[in-house]
Amino acid sequence: MAETEHNVIIGTGVAGNRAAETLRERDPDCRITIITLGSLHFYNRYSLPKVFQGCDDWRQLLVHPPSYYEENRITLRRNTRVINVDAKRRAVTFAHNEEMHYDQILVCSGGRGYLPEGLSDFAGLMHRFTSFEDAMVIRRLLPAGGRVILLGGDMIGLDLARTFVETGYDVTLVANDFTFWPHEVARQDRGTYEKALTNMGIEVHRGGRILGVEEGGEGKPARRVVFADGEVLDGDVVLPFFGLVPAVEFMLGSGVDIERGILVNPHLCSTDDHIWAAGDVCQIWSPEKNTYRFYYGWNNVRDMGEAAARNMTGAGEPFANGGGEDLRLDKNGRLLSPFWDHD
Ligand SMILES: Cc1cc2nc3c(=O)[nH]c(=O)nc-3n(C[C@H](O)[C@H](O)[C@H](O)COP(=O)(O)OP(=O)(O)OC[C@H]3O[C@@H](n4cnc5c(N)ncnc54)[C@H](O)[C@@H]3O)c2cc1C
């Protein structure tokens, strides 16, 4: 490998960071650049519920100290949006019109929260929970002992819900087909798992169709969710949790195959030999299932970053799924999920 090989990683989440670490271990001389939209250093998003337990300094959530990047000769470009990848010229374009050449690129751009179309008109009355900044905003809006209304309730939302309950807030979950995402729960098992949520102190509302989210009335909590049958739920904040959609828009002109995520082979290489993908953004070919599929969870995503980097440096090993994808109940009948586990 040439000394000046330039490996560009898009994304400073768990996949991108593990990949950078692995690339540096395996090739002390290559040039590594990580690009991220975000302004903060890599912190553990799974720990964001700690904000509601009193953590108000994002530096407490950092995975590496800021000096890590310089010490490992990794260039980190923050506040930088990739808008295009030109596979023929092997160049990435940033929103501010700069171009950067790459020899190999690893896309670890993750996903963002999905909002069903019927709810998008009310986006301004709901709060996203994707970053430290979002968590701080929600914390400021919630009065002590206030009520949180969760719409949908994917596993990110349910993780947060259990922290809310533990810290003295009330939680109402408006359950629907997205509840428990990305776990696939058979219709006949839904009742068992919803009961497990009740055992955890979460009030489960199997409501009908949501008509909208409105500002609360005089002397009432700040928000109300209105259902088609006229029922109304009052709460201080409304948080939508409908799973993630892969962040692939900047890859659309690259020519690589994309379905929902970037399609990669078991070695995590896309349909272009110089473009790799890992983490929430990619769908990996599964010979057993004869289809492309997503693998979620911190450990899987970290292992994907590592596998991609090993293969970019010639290892030739397929990604091995860490396993354990089923919902479980603990001895007190409370919900457990491998999605919540991380080393
Ligand atoms: C608040 C929160 C809590 C979560 N909790 C859990 C949990 O408990 N368990 C679990 O399994 N999963 C959880 N998830 C999902 C989890 O984030 C992912 O499974 C995992 O962290 C994905 O890592 P990743 O490296 O693939 O991408 P991400 O961590 O999503 O990182 C994506 C990176 O790509 C960058 N990026 C995206 N687009 C561009 C662009 N155009 N230009 C430049 N940079 C770009 C972003 O800035 C970011 O740095 C949570 C997600 C969130 C948002």
Residue 1's pLDDT is what? 47
> What token pair was written down for 186?
């058979």
221 Cβ below 6 A of ligand 1:
no
Write down the pLDDT at residue 341: 77
Which residues in the chain come in under a pLDDT of 50? 1-2
Which CATH superfamily includes the segment(s) 6-112+245-312? Answer: FAD/NAD(P)-binding domain (3.50.50.60)
Beta carbon of 246 within 6 Å of any ligand 1 atom = no
**Residue 99 token pair:** 């171009």
pLDDT of residue 338: 85
**For ligand 1, what atom is nearest to the CA of residue 304?**
26
Nearest to 160, CA basis, from 212, 237, 215, 222: 237
Determine the Cα–Cα distance for residues 91 and 78; give it in Å rounded to an integer: 18
Closest atom of ligand 1 to 244 CA is: 15
CA-nearest residue, atom 1 of ligand 1? 130
**Ligand 1 nearest atom to the CA of residue 14, by list position:** 25
pLDDT at 308: 98
The pLDDT assigned to 297 comes to 85
- Tokens 């396993």, residue located: 323
Provide CATH 3.50.50.60 ranges for the chain. 6-112+245-312, 115-242
The CATH number that domain 115-242 falls under is 3.50.50.60
- Element of type H or E holding 238: strand 237-241
Taking the C-alpha atoms of residue 93 and residue 97, their distance in angstroms, rounded to an integer, is 6
Burial environment of residue 35 by CB neighbours within 10 A (0 to 12, 13 to 18, 19 or more): buried
